[in-house]
Chain A
Amino acid sequence: CTSLVAEDANGNLFHGRNLDFGLFMGWDSKNRSWIITETLKPLVVNVDFTRNNRTVFKSTNFAGYVGMLTGIRPHTFTLTMNERFSLDGGYIGILEWILGKRDGMWMSFLTRSVLENATSYEEAKNRLAQTKLLAPAYFILGGNQTGQGCVITRSRVLSLDIWELDRKQNRWYVLETNYDHWKDPFFLDDRRTPAMKCMNQTMQANISIKTIYDVLSTKPVLNKLTTYTTLMEVSKGRLESYIRDCPNPCMPW
């Protein structure tokens, strides 16, 4: 996955993401595609969650999956999550759960609960940073005011790092794939460098929904695992998603 939050020169915040999933879960050599990735694409839906006939939040989901991986609380915050690999992983959390130790939260139920109940960027950030999880994760959060954008790196128990937009350091975007931002990505899976190259080439003056879509359409940021691309603009309460394909030659991940 690749998620990014960017602020344009006028202080507007944009949030984009590619949802990549299905690695090592069956390769269709005839069609040169991942079997699970291809069966997930028809399940992609956009959902408007309402209460009293008013929108509470909107999301891009896989039908049948009640947790949240991508969502917007219109005019308030935007949220995506990317997978984080760690030896202290989800299987330990599941074992603890089965043995009755149930003080942690399932990752996608936390994101759903935050989108449904948090009423500000700060509240969302605190809950995502402090709630104990069953599995490690990256939460990428955008707010509705200048400077409100961050990547929260989570272990199961701790918040290891919160990496924020910082105008003074000319950090006008934060971008997360599936590796801790303070370490180099795995050399066989470096989608961060090409994505950052394209963001830097775009420059802050030109950042928009359109140019973020260009970045998320550039290989290997776009790859054979990419199921959908979602673009969000918090000030307009706008979420739009597109199912993707990656024509050959294209990286398997």
Chain B
Amino acid sequence: STQYVPPYTEECRSGMYPPRGPTFKGAVTWYTVDLDLPPSKRWTEVITDKKANLVSMIQAIKDLANSFVPSGKLIELVDRDLPLIVNTLPYPFNEEIKGIAQDSGVALGEVVLFNIFYEVFTV
């Protein structure tokens, strides 16, 4: 059947809802972000819960960058230069990004890179 040769096109699935089984990896937790709070404080609850996951995702991107540039120069550039860009980003996003770096302990340049990744990735 077509399912066993690329692109592994299946017959249209049915009865998949409510989500369960091997294609369902888990529900998604709800958080509240209070827009009345100062921007740098808005994401504290989320980041406090997800700090470890954020650190390991950033580390995976760093490992990838180091595999392209083993000297580590690419990471140095991110950590040294991207903080310069954060103050050119529109308010309140620049302040929210600073708050996330503060709450997570991740370098500011790396949080900036994560947040502009869409534009960077088109490279």
| Residue ranges of A at the interface with B (Cβ–Cβ < 8 Å) | 25-26, 35-36, 39-52, 56, 60, 63-67, 83, 85-86, 89-91, 93-94, 97-98, 102, 105-109, 112, 116, 134-137, 188, 190, 194, 197-198, 201-202, 209-211, 213-215, 217-220, 222, 228-229, 240-247, 249-251
B122–A214 touching, CB < 8 Å: no
Q: How far is the CA of A219 from the CA of B5 in the complex (A)?
A: 12
Query: Could you list 5 further interchain pairs (A-B, Cβ under 8 angstroms) beyond the known A46-B30, A86-B122, A134-B119?
Result: A66-B97, A106-B90, A219-B9, A220-B7, A220-B9
- Chain B neighbourhood of A48, CB < 8 A: 30-33
Q: Tell me the complex Cα distance, A106–B117, Å.
A: 10
Q: Contact: A66 with B93, CB < 8 Å?
A: yes
A47 and B33 contact, CB distance less than 8 A: yes
Bound complex: CA A41 to CA B54 (Å): 11
Decide if B16 is an interface residue (CB 8 Å cutoff).
Answer: yes
Q: Which residues of B contact A116 (CB under 8 A)?
A: 35
Measured in the bound complex, the distance between the Cα atoms of B33 and A246 in whole Å is: 31
In-complex Cβ contact of B122 among A91, A201, A219, A222 (8 A): A91
Name B9's closest neighbour in chain A (CB-CB): A194
Question: Closest approach, in angstroms, between the C-beta of A219 and any C-beta of chain B?
Answer: 5
Interface of B is mostly: mixed
Residue B28 contacts which of A46, A66, A217 (CB distance < 8 angstroms)? A46
A54 to nearest B CB, angstroms?
10
* B64 interfacial by beta-carbon distance below 8 Å: yes
Q: Which residues of A contact B13 (CB under 8 A)?
A: 198, 214-215, 217-218
- With A64-B114, A90-B120, A247-B23 known as contacts, the answer to whether A42 contacts B50 (CB < 8 A) is yes
Inter-chain contact B93/A135, CB cutoff 8 Å: no
The answer on a CB contact under 8 Å between B57 and A46 is: no
Main secondary structure of the interface of A (DSSP, over half): mixed
- 12 pairs across A/B with beta carbons < 8 Å? A26-B64, A48-B32, A48-B33, A89-B122, A91-B119, A106-B116, A135-B122, A229-B19, A240-B28, A242-B28, A243-B25, A247-B22
Asked whether A249 lies within 8 Å of B93 as measured between CB atoms, the reply is: no
Among residues 7 to 55 in chain B, which have CB atoms less than 8 Å away from a CB atom of chain A?
7-17, 19, 22-36, 43, 46-47, 49-50, 53-54
Give every chain B residue within 8 A of A209 (Cβ-Cβ).
Answer: 17
| A56: chain B residues within 8 A (beta carbon) | 35
CB-CB under 8 A from B25, the residues of chain A are 41, 242-245
Q: Is B71 an interface residue (CB 8 A)?
A: no
User: Considering the chains assembled together, what is the distance between the CA atoms of A106 and B104 in angstroms?
Assistant: 23
Chain B 89-123 interface 0/1 with A at a Cβ cutoff of 8 Å (1 = within): 11001001100100010100001001110111111
Q: In the docked arrangement, what's the CA distance between A213 and B12, Å? A: 11
Contact between B47 and A91, CB atoms less than 8 A apart: no
A251 contacts B28, CB within 8 Å?
Answer: no
Please give me the residue from chain B that is nearest to A194 by CB atom: B9
CA distance A108 to B97 in the complex (A): 13
Choice from A201, A213, A249 contacting B3 with Cβ under 8 Å: A249
Q: Which of B28, B89, B118 contacts A228 (CB 8 A)?
A: B28
Q: Which interface residue of A50, A63, A67, A108 has the most chain B CB atoms within 10 A? A: A63
Q: Please, which residues of chain B bring their CB within 8 A of the CB of A46? A: 28-31
Q: How far is the CA of A202 from the CA of B16 in the complex (A)?
A: 13
The chain A residue sitting closest to B96, CB to CB, is: A66
Asked if B23 contacts A244 (CB within 8 A), the reply is yes
